[in-house]
Structure 1
């Protein structure tokens, strides 16, 4: 009778699981279902911190969009294998932002009830609703969500305190050809459950600052930037409670030509699409001279995208968003949606967009995926019809996973049965 395989230390299991590809979250999810010990190990905050230490930058798990189309899932995966998250329904919630493990939505303004914000954690599925005060309700607002924990490195801040900054613009005084608009920012704290005093800025303009095409960018800990539909940039200084408005480089109020981003030095940047090029700008700020835009780099799309994707580039190639934390730009073309990693200048198509489904903007979900504790989730990579009687398939998937992991170990092959017998 063959001897039983030696027991494998829990620490070794953790090291194996940590080295599963982070851009293939379904692999780690299935591993968590092999046994209770694995499920507990990957759901701990410690495991999430180790993922950050080992892999550094988190992957882009997918994209949230704002199309009211039942045929398109609200969450579009960008991962190596099939993977989905049950995001709030398109019909009732408008996507606004995603940062520090939380996504932010605003209820449909056509609803007769009071407007609400919804904070959703894609990894845990936790949700929290926040009523919007009547004084803040407007037609085209925007908001941003961010972690509020002092000294947090955002590696395991799920479930912690957060803040929401709500932006709106309304006309004040008499309606003229050049109205005076009041743009205001008001912050909500999850720790106190209250809204703070608004900070406002008066500005003369033929139209208000509407926010329907762009998300926000957080620079440092206290500077939030928003881009209006007519491509003006709103700066919100959270520490000083100040608002300011300025132009992007070569300002043209054209939808899809710009997106705000983080520059290479961590400051504010802008990606400008000009025909078949992406111009990356950074904003230099000095106490002695006026802030100015400096061209940092030019990305030539003909070197990255298929020829067919650049047909009618001047009108059909548009910048859809920037993945904060992953340094990635998203473009829509006649050949689909592409993600471009700016550091390596590598492009990959992530969605086959057609003329029937034209996205105005996208909100990337940037995070390491770690399954919630066993029994509190289901495998999002499987359809409902596959859940019943799926034990045989689950064992097969687990065996395939173990075969992959065994290649990382010197001189040995693991089996599903041996793991089940040596792991509690």
Structure 2
């Protein structure tokens, strides 16, 4: 090669921007066909299928999907698609714990969010529990399962299936055979709700539109009755009964294990209802389990076995009902005894170092403990002890855990994603809504008392 034809690289001025530097470094000349095809290939996020796979892996936090939907109309269209939301639930499988519905029997219940940082902390008023129009008439809150809550209206003889996410309700009148029973005023009513969707891969969390089952139970000190309602047929099954020697404990929710639902009696025995055979029976508590008050016992779901927790202050003893060699089911005391004093904060006063069991999350095997300084979650397998509320008094409110995928904004307001709140000098409030890309009304730009501009998902229930 002729030395005169060799090009010597020139020193590049560092002030030249990156784009010009790349242009100057590239040799001029025609591009090959392959290179042209590569350069015209779409960006990864322009690929619809790839984008959906990425969005499927967004963490199931309350603010995750609503915030992602603010990126652009295309993202929001994907995230609000019912088919995508169904895939999202199946991918994550287990709905996150959003908080608890807490209260005392015969009084109103309220939502207690988990103590996490904003924007994932859901406001208490977001899930407003339905109430009776009369102050003398109560709806008894009796549990949550599969994204649904269930209440009983005693005097109206009706069960209410409520979806906290959307506020929608199913009202199911009691079966005539129980409504017209004698001495019904002396009975206590309890109930359980569960999703009955048999679709392969179905994930609980948005079950309001799916088939559901409702088990209604009532009884006194000598007899208990139960009946199964199927939403598919819209009819009640046969009323079954069993002899009892105790009253049902309304302070405790039901426990679902396999095809059976269990409730606690006041002194610790257990009422069992088999969903498939629709039979009712009584299981005796462990003989060594001693009753002191209504908070002494708690039913557990230990894998596929029925578990039993006994508060023996200041410790918790754990039992499991297992099959023996002859096939008979017996209570077995587990070697694991939980000493609560070792878990309490060191600065906690000695006279305050006691607790009551006031709830249980069957999906994560967590007992809710109430103390003088607040409420705690105790995970029985990992022994993780987490405080989620603070106070300086005793409280015995029952806590019902609520799990669901938070997609309320897409369900209620699929096209509205921002709200402008304006309060006039006369105290009147006006709200302007719009979709991504729409312009804010001209009159709103110059309003002197415009308060906030927020994503719609945070204001969905108040607008």
Q: TM-score, normalised by structure 2?
A: 0.69
Counterparts of 1:79 and 1:189 in 2: how far apart (Å)?
37
- Counterpart in 2 of 1:83? 122
Deviation sequence 1:16-65 (CA, Å, 0-9, x none): 5444443x313433333554444443344554555455545332111112
Distance 1:309 1:116 in 2: 45
Larger CA Rg, structure 1 vs 2: 2
Query: Pairwise mapping of residues 299-318 of structure 1 onto structure 2 (< 5 A)?
Result: 299-308=338-347, 311-312=350-351, 316-318=354-356
Query: Deviations along 1:183-213, whole A, 9 cap, x unmatched?
Result: 111111111211111110023x3xx423311
Alpha-carbon distance in structure 1 between the residues aligned to 2:65 and 2:300: 30
In the other structure, the counterpart of 1:327 is: 365
Shift in CA distance, 195/312, structure 1 to aligned 2, threshold 3 Å: farther
The residue number in structure 2 matching 1:94 is 140
Aligned to 2:271: 234
Q: 2:403 aligns with which of 353, 366, 371?
A: 366
User: Who is 1:42 aligned against?
Assistant: 79
Do the aligned partners of residues 163 and 227 (structure 1) sit closer, same or farther apart at CA in structure 2, a change above 3 Å counting? same
Match of 2:165 among 102, 109, 123: 123
1:60 correspondence with 2:100: no
What CA distance in whole angstroms lies between the structure 2 residues aligned with 1:350 and 1:260? 22
Match of 1:343 in 2: 381
Cα deviation for residue 359 of structure 1 reads: 3.1
SS at match of 2:188: coil
Q: Deviation per CA, 1:334-384, whole angstroms, max 9, x where unpaired? A: 11111122332222211224537x2342111122323352653899xx999
How far apart, in 2, do the equivalents of 1:289 and 1:118 lie? 40
Q: 1:199 aligns with which of 232, 237, 240?
A: 240
Structure 2 matches for 1:206-355, cutoff 5 A? 208-220=246-258, 222-249=259-286, 250-253=288-291, 254-263=293-302, 265-286=303-324, 288-296=326-334, 297-308=336-347, 311-312=350-351, 316-355=354-393
Q: Is it true that 1:165 corresponds to 2:201 in the alignment?
A: no
SS at match of 1:373: helix
> Is 1:141–1:166's contact at 8 Å kept on the other side of the alignment?
yes
Structure 1 pair 69/136, CA: closer, same or farther in 2 (3 Å)?
closer
Aligned-partner SS, 1:65: strand
Q: Which moved more, 1:9-18 or 1:153-162?
A: 9-18
Contact 1:66 1:90 in 2 (8 A): no
Aligned mates of 2:101, 2:359 — CA distance in 1? 11
2-side partners of 1:366 and 1:384: how far apart?
34
Question: What is the CA–CA distance in structure 2 between the aligned matches of 1:46 and 1:343, rounded to whole Å?
Answer: 35
Seen in structure 2, the aligned counterparts of structure 1 residues 53 and 288 have a Cα distance that, compared at 3 Å, is same
Higher relative contact order (CA 8 A, sep 6+): 1
**Alpha-carbon deviations, 1:213-253, whole Å to 9, x = none?**
10011111x21111122222111112222222123333333
Distance 1:327 1:307 in 2: 25
Q: Please tell me whether the aligned partners of residues 40 and 374 of structure 1 are also in contact (alpha carbons under 8 angstroms).
A: no
Q: Which segments of 5 or more consecutive residues in structure 2 lack a partner in the other structure?
A: 1-17, 20-41, 133-137, 424-428, 432-449, 459-463
Root mean square deviation of aligned Cα: 3.7
Alpha-carbon contact 2:196-2:212 (below 8 Å) kept: yes
Is the CA contact (8 Å cut-off) linking 2:166 and 2:412 kept in structure 1? no
Answer yes or no: is 1:31 the counterpart of 2:68.
yes
Query: 2-side partners of 1:346 and 1:209: how far apart?
Result: 34
Residue aligned with 2:410, SS? coil
Give the aligned length.
371
- Residue in 1 aligned with 2:36? none
Tell me, which stretches of 5 or more residues in structure 1 are unaligned?
172-180, 398-424
Q: Kindly indicate whether the alpha-carbon contact (under 8 Å) linking 2:367 and 2:380 is maintained by their aligned counterparts in 1.
A: yes
**How do 1:387-398 residues align onto structure 2 when only pairs under 5 Å count?**
388=431, 392-394=453-455
